[in-house]
């Protein structure tokens, strides 16, 4: 079953108006915003890397506001407990009632997730994965849509508990927010008072995002595109500089993210360029390099560039 003309035009109208609202506040960063939006449409969670003050919070808040989604921010530190995040029972009247924690929001900005202690990290990531919180044998569903945007400190910093590979694999994409260029930085300063007011209109709704998620599932993917994705994934495992390549789950995420990107680009089918565009975003945080490669200054992005050069995309219509 394909996408109807009505669905296609509704989807493109929602996507265009959300991107327009976000661009009123965020200077530049179109690519990063697009990847976050694609991940949200694909129902995936995002890692955002970046030094302080590069608009990580502002981007997350703007997107949430444009979709009129509930938003919460959790600042992780080593002393944050699972109950601070998930919620806790409080005694009211003559009985215990569950008071929901900040994880119960459509968009959860998990700031500095690698500063949380391992117990809190795993409780949070488990709830994120399952879409629910179970406490005292009772289960509470997280809202839908539910998207985690997790920021991370550079690993060189002290007091960091790096996320285990298995946890990183649960994030669909990772992006890096770099410093703006000079002209952009001038705009940020000139527009700072305006930006701080966050003048983002709620042009869409949670229902709209759920609808985009459903439509994305109907984006057509040719068998040879699936083959291309699998070839990329397998090539990361064979690379001489890699000690842990991408998992089958990574392949599934790359497929979903590519479909969402196709929808954003106004197509009802995936092309090899969608896959190429999303591959570094989906795979960079999951690949582990050998010590020797790391020492020589290679990054996982270098490896992916090499992989994408070697693996041949399918020819159209073959
Ligand atoms: N590209 C940008 N567009 C608009 N505003 C920006 C941009 N980069 C930085 N800023 C401004 O910088 C300020 C800090 O942004 P924000 O709080 O979102 O950063 P952050 O990355 O979340 O920082 P931290 O790591 O300290 O939480 C905001 O007032 C924001 O307006
Ligand atoms: Mg912030």
Q: Could you read off the pLDDT of 91-104 as tens digits, one per residue? A: 998 888 999 999 99
What is the structure's pLDDT at 153? 72
Helix (H) or strand (E) run with residue 148 in it? strand 147-152
Ligand 1 nearest-atom number relative to CA 111: 27
Nearest CA to ligand 1 atom 7: 55
Q: What pLDDT, on the 0 to 100 scale, is given for residue 104?
A: 97
Calpha distance 259→306 (Å, rounded): 23
Contact at 8 Å (CB) between 251 and 233?
A: yes
Stated pTM of the model:
0.94
Residues whose CB falls within 8 Å of the CB of residue 137, separated by 6 or more in sequence, listed in order: none
- Closest-CA residue, ligand 1 atom 24, reads 52
Which residue among 30, 188, 199 is best mutated to probe the pocket of ligand 1, counting the most ligand atoms within 8 A of its Cβ?
188
pLDDT on residue 155: 61
* Atom 27 (ligand 1) nearest CA: 52
Q: Which ligand has the shortest distance to the CA of 59?
A: 1
CB of 206 closer than 8 Å to CB of 27: no
CA of 51 to the centre of ligand 2 (A): 10
Tally of CB atoms within 10 A around 26? 21
**Dihedral of alpha carbons 224, 129, 282, 217, sign:** positive
Residue extent(s) of CATH 3.40.50.300 domains in the chain: 1-216
The H or E element that residue 150 is part of is strand 147-152
Residues whose CB falls within 8 Å of the CB of residue 84, separated by 6 or more in sequence, listed in order: 101, 102, 120
CATH superfamily, region 219-318: Magnesium chelatase subunit I, C-Terminal domain (1.10.8.80)
Boundaries of CATH 1.10.8.80 in the chain?
219-318
Which 3 state secondary structure label does DSSP give 87? strand
Torsion angle of the four alpha carbons 179, 149, 302, 153, in this order, in degrees rounded to the nearest 10: 60
For ligand 1, which residues put their CB under 6 angstroms from it?
26-29, 50, 52-58, 180, 188, 192, 195-196
52 CA from centroid of ligand 2 (Å): 7
Ligand 1 pocket: which of 55, 63, 189 to mutate (most atoms <8 Å of CB)? 55
Q: Which CATH superfamily is domain 1-216 in?
A: P-loop containing nucleotide triphosphate hydrolases (3.40.50.300)
Residues of the chain where predicted confidence (pLDDT) is lower than 70: 1, 154-159, 316-318
What is the residue with the minimal CA distance to atom 11 of ligand 1? 55
């Amino acid at each position: 079953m394909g996408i109807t003309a009505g669905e296609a035009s509704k989807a493109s109208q929602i996507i265009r108006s959300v991107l327009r609202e976000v661009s009123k506040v965020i200077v530049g960063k179109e690519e990063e915003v697009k990847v976050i939006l694609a991940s949200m449409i694909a129902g995936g969670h995002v890692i955002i890397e970046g030094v302080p003050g590069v608009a990580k919070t502002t981007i997350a808040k703007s997107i949430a506001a444009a979709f009129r989604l509930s938003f919460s921010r959790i600042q992780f530190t080593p002393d944050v407990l699972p109950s601070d995040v998930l919620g806790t029972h409080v005694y009211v009247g003559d009985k215990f009632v569950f008071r929901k924690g900040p994880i119960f929001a459509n968009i959860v900005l998990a700031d500095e997730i690698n500063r949380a202690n391992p117990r809190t990290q795993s409780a949070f990531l488990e709830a994120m994965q399952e879409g629910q919180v179970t406490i005292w044998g009772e289960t509470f569903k997280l809202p839908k849509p539910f998207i985690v945007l997790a920021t991370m400190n550079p690993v060189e910093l002290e007091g960091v508990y790096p996320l285990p590979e298995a946890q990183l694999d649960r994030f669909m994409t990772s992006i890096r927010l770099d410093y703006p260029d000079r002209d952009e930085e001038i705009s940020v300063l000139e527009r700072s008072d305006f930006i701080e007011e966050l003048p983002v209109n709620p042009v869409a709704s949670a229902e709209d995002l759920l609808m985009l998620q459903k439509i994305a599932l109907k984006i057509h993917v040719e068998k040879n595109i699936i083959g291309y994705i699998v070839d990329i994934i397998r090539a990361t495992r064979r690379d001489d500089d890699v000690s842990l390549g991408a998992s089958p789950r990574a392949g599934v995420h790359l497929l979903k993210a590519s479909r969402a990107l196709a929808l954003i680009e106004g197509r009802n089918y995936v092309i090899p360029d969608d896959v190429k565009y999303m591959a570094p975003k989906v795979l960079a945080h999951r690949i582990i390099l050998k010590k020797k490669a790391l020492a020589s200054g290679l990054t996982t992005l270098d490896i992916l560039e090499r992989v994408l050069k070697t693996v041949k995309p399918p020819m159209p219509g073959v």
